[in-house]
Amino acid sequence: MYALAIPFFGAERRGAPVFAYNRVSDGVIRRRSRVRRGDMVVVLDPSLLSMYDVGGLLKEDGRLVVNAPVCRPGWSRVDAVEIAESLGLRLAGFPLVNMPMLGAAARVSGLVGLEELERVVRENFSRLVEENLAAVERGYKEVVSCE
């Protein structure tokens, strides 16, 4: 598969909301513009849900994956903060929720399996490998669909 990352952000400062778009396709990707409506939206910081209409970024049959301790109808959710904190994955006092969310998004999308994720983490990480592997696995296994 082919993939293209398209970051989009305003003033660069720690804590500022950031949108990042990814296109994934069986064929070569030529379009490099922002994604207007996606198949999936992954929200790492649930406080953004009160600031933005993230549902408006989804296609009609799109999936919303949220880092949250509780369910809301229409979401898939995983408590990525709890996972990161339990594994000691913190930077500058903030829990690193990206790896559990990667696992959750992979499972919800069905594009990548857990074995592939684990292989990539082993190939690309030199520090905290086991902790990151555990975070990806827990995100993958603990994501739940909220009906």
Distance, in Å, from the CA atom of 116 to the CA atom of 95, rounded to the nearest integer, reads 24
Tally of structural domains, the chain: 1
Tokens standing for residue 146: 């909220």
Domain that holds residue 134: 69-145
User: Is the residue at 25 inside a domain?
Assistant: no
In a domain, 9, yes or no: no
Domain presence at residue 15: no
Residue 133, domain member (yes or no): yes
DSSP 70: S
Residue 78 lies in a domain: yes
CB 66 within 8 A of CB 46: yes
Average pLDDT over residues 82-87: 97
Per-residue pLDDT of 117-126, as tens digits, reads 999 999 999 8
**What's the order of all strands across the beta sheet hosting 75-78?**
38-43, 58-67, 75-78, 144-145
For residue 67, the cross-strand partners are 78
Assigned domain for 14 exists? no
> How crowded is residue 42: how many other Cβ atoms within 10 Å of its Cβ?
21
Nearest to 69, CA basis, from 53, 85, 56: 85
Mind listing the pLDDT tens digit for each residue in 28-84?
999 888 888 999 999 999 988 988 888 899 999 999 999 999 999 999 999 999 999
Is residue 85 included in any domain, yes or no? yes
Q: Is the pLDDT of residue 95 over 90?
A: yes
What is the mean predicted confidence (pLDDT) over 21-31?
90
Residue 88 sits in a domain whose CATH number is 3.40.920.10
Judge whether 46 lies within some domain. no
